[in-house]
């Protein structure tokens, strides 16, 4: 009995639909992050006042949402490897739209938590992880970085677009009306794009004698990755970095305010993180033509550590705050672009989504938990202790990424299929 290993379609020869998929996913990721995640920060205050709940209680619903998404990462990855992204992402878009409508109708904190858990689950079905899996299946290694960059650059402006938009909607319609409007935007745009655009690529079949069906090959590939010590080094690296970035993302405004900056000024400076995340991704894409991805990322992580170290000295002035936030912001979104490249290069594409899901679960959990843990550090040692913890995390991430880079010369090839 024989089966075939599927190679990604060549997007330059009869594969223009691959770039249509990239355009569609860039749009849906932007709207998805904007409505399902970034809008929450703007809605938090009005919701807390309307529900008669504390800000902490309402913030916890977002944490629950992120944790629910982390738990879904593994089964979503398995589904994507077996069935592709069309049905999953279309179902996720429809369900997320319904949940946005339900969110607008909550009247208790318990109802809010239930809806946000659902949104976290559907987010795992429609945001970066499934989008990256679809792109990895379509594009060959020489075109894949450009395709991934296109999605992450556009979606990197989700906060820049949707936070002001949500604020305007809240001012005009109230938070419930704002959510209904966001639900309409989400449903009208993302559902048809996922349903009509995403499909499996046309494959070039290369017969390879084997007695194992495709799902068995995927299981073997995934197990091989789990047995590779460098996979766990990469996981630890991304956990440390994810914890650092989420902590700064949540607590930066408070820190800058504590240094004497007006709240509006602090929020504006912190808002640079979204724009700088795009800048970092562009830097990575340009530099990788001369240097390995892991080397570039390790250097950026080290720059982030240096920027945080400098904050107590420099961030008291506006110029110093901008400079240090710029240094940290360069790495704010770089891991989301580097991770697919590292995984596909090292482990191939046979079980890419499964492996990526197993990596995303602990990393996303760390991102959700870190800001809450950081909040407990503030009464103990203030922002100095918090910044010290972030610095250590960035340094550990830099060292870990260097270890992942070195593994290419001292370990065997773990790829199970040509990427």
Residue with tokens 């944790």: 67
- Name the least confident of 167-176, 177-186, 193-202: 193-202
Q: How many CA atoms lie within 13 A of 334 on its CB side?
A: 33
> Is the pLDDT score of 400 beyond 80?
yes
> Does residue 247 surpass a pLDDT of 70?
yes
Q: What is the pLDDT of residue 13?
A: 36
d(CA 154, CA 147) in angstroms, rounded, equals 11
User: For residue 307, is pLDDT > 60?
Assistant: yes
- The per-residue b/e assignment along 49-70, b for 16 or more CB within 10 angstroms, e otherwise, is eebebeeeebbbbbbbbbbbbb
**pLDDT tens digits for range 319-340:** 999 999 999 988 888 888 888 8
Predicted pLDDT of residue 337: 81
pLDDT tens for 182-226 read 999 999 999 999 999 988 776 544 443 433 446 677 777 778 878
**CA separation for the pair 203, 206 (Å, rounded):** 9
| pLDDT value, residue 390 | 94
SS3 52: coil
Contact between residue 134 and residue 143 where contact means Cβ atoms under 8 Å apart = no
Which pLDDT score is estimated for 7? 40
Indicate the range of 5-9, 51-55, 114-118, 210-214 predicted with least confidence: 5-9
> pLDDT digit string (tens) for 349-386?
777 888 888 888 889 889 888 887 887 778 888 889 99
Note the pLDDT of residue 149. 84
State pTM to two decimals. 0.75
């Amino acid at each position: 009995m024989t089966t075939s290993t599927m190679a990604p379609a060549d997007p330059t020869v009869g594969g223009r639909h691959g770039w249509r998929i990239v355009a569609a996913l860039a749009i849906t990721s932007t709207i998805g992050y904007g409505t399902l995640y970034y809008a929450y920060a703007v809605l938090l205050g009005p919701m807390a006042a309307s529900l008669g709940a504390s800000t902490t209680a309402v913030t916890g619903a977002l944490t629950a949402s992120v944790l629910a998404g982390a738990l879904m990462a593994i089964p979503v990855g398995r589904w994507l490897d077996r069935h592709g992204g069309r049905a999953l992402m279309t179902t996720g878009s429809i369900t997320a739209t319904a949940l946005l409508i339900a969110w607008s109708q909550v009247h208790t904190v318990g109802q809010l938590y239930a809806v946000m858990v659902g949104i976290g689950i559907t987010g795992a079905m429609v945001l970066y992880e499934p989008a990256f899996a679809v792109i990895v299946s379509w594009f060959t290694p020489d075109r894949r970085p450009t395709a991934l960059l296109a999605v992450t650059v556009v979606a990197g402006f989700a906060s820049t677009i949707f936070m002001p938009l949500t604020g305007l909607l809240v001012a005009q319609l109230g938070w419930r009306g704002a959510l209904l409007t966001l639900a309409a935007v989400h449903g009208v745009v993302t559902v048809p794009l996922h349903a009509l655009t995403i499909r499996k690529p046309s494959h070039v079949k290369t017969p390879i004698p084997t007695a194992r069906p495709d799902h068995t090959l995927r299981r073997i590939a995934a197990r091989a990755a789990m047995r590779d010590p460098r996979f766990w080094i990469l996981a630890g690296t991304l956990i440390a970095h994810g914890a650092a970035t989420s902590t700064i993302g949540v607590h930066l405004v408070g820190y800058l305010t504590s240094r004497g900056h007006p709240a509006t000024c602090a929020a504006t400076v912190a808002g640079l993180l979204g724009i700088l995340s795009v800048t970092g991704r562009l830097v990575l894409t340009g530099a990788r033509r001369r240097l390995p991805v892991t080397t570039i990322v390790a250097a950026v992580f080290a720059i982030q550590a240096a920027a945080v170290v400098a904050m107590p000295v420099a961030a008291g002035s506006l110029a110093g705050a901008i400079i240090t936030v710029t240094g940290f912001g360069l790495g704010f979104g770089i891991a989301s672009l580097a991770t697919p490249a590292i995984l596909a290069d090292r482990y191939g594409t046979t079980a890419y989504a499964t492996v990526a899901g197993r990596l995303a679960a602990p990393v996303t959990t760390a991102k959700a938990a870190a800001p809450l843990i950081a909040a407990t550090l503030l009464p103990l040692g203030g922002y100095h202790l918090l910044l010290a913890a972030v610095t250590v995390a960035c340094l550990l991430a830099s060292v870990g990424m260097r270890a992942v880079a070195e593994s290419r010369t001292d370990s065997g090839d773990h790829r199970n299929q040509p990427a």
